[in-house]
C-alpha cells in the first residue's frame, strides 16, 4: 500500500493468515481487516452478470398471473418453492409441476452464481494479495480447501471483521513476518 501521510497510524497492522488444509497444503496471505476499493471492484465486476434475479422475477410474474396473487405473495410462495421450505406443500407442488422448467432454471442459475462468486472472491485475493501474475486458469487448479478458506477470508474482510487482527495484536504477532509478506 502506498505510504500515506498519516497523522495517526492505523491501530491494527495486517497479519499473516494461513489458508488451506493438510490435504491441500497451506498458503500465506495477508489479513488486513478490510477490502481495498480495487478488490471490491474486481469482485463486483466479476459477478455482475447474474441472471438469478431476472429468472426469479419472470417466475414470480408467471405465478402471479396464473394464481391471481399479488406480486408480494407470489414472490413469497415462489421463494419458498425455490428454497424448499413451503408453508403449503400442496400448493408448492402444484407450482413445481406447472413451472418445473422455470424452477429448475432459477435453482441452476443460483448454484452457478454461487460457484462463480466463490471463484471470483478467491481469484481476487490471490491476485491482489499473493501473486499479481496469476491467471484464472491457475486459480482453477487450486485445491477446493484453499478456495473455501479464501472465500471465508474475503467474507470476513468484506464485513470489516478485525477480531483476528485484535487477537493477533494482543498475542504479539510477529511483525517481521508481515514485513516479509509486504515485500513479496
Residue 80 has pLDDT above 90, yes or no: yes
Taking the domains of the chain in order of start, what are their residue ranges?
17-46+114-162+177-183, 52-110
Percent of the chain whose pLDDT exceeds 70: 88
Q: Please, are residues 38 and 56 in contact by the beta-carbon 8 Å criterion?
A: no
From CA 71, how far away is CA 113, in angstroms rounded? 24
pTM attached to this predicted model: 0.73
Q: Give pLDDT tens digits for 22-59.
A: 999 999 999 998 999 999 999 998 888 668 889 999 99
Confidence of residue 4 (pLDDT cuts 50, 70, 90): confident
From CA 63, how far away is CA 152, in angstroms rounded? 36
117: CB partners within 8 A, 6+ apart: 43, 47
Amino acid at each position: 500500500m502506498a505510504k500515506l501521510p498519516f497523522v495517526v497510524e492505523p491501530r491494527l497492522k495486517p497479519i499473516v493468515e494461513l489458508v488451506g488444509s493438510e490435504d491441500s497444503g497451506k498458503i500465506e496471505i495477508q489479513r488486513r481487516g478490510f477490502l481495498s476499493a480495487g478488490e471490491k471492484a474486481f469482485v463486483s465486476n466479476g459477478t455482475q452478470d447474474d441472471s438469478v434475479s431476472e429468472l426469479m422475477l419472470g417466475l414470480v410474474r408467471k405465478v402471479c398471473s396464473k394464481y391471481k396473487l399479488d406480486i408480494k405473495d407470489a414472490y413469497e410462495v415462489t421463494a419458498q418453492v425455490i428454497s424448499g421450505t413451503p408453508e403449503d406443500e400442496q400448493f408448492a407442488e402444484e407450482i413445481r409441476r406447472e413451472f418445473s422448467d422455470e424452477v429448475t432454471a432459477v435453482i441452476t442459475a443460483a448454484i452457478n452464481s454461487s460457484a462463480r462468486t466463490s471463484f471470483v472472491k478467491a481469484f481476487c485475493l490471490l491476485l491482489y494479495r499473493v501473486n499479481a501474475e496469476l491467471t484464472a486458469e491457475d486459480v482453477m487448479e487450486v485445491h477446493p480447501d484453499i478456495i473455501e478458506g479464501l472465500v471465508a477470508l474475503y467474507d470476513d474482510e468484506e464485513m470489516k471483521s478485525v477480531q483476528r487482527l485484535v487477537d493477533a495484536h494482543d498475542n504479539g504477532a510477529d511483525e517481521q513476518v508481515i514485513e516479509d509478506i509486504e515485500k513479496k
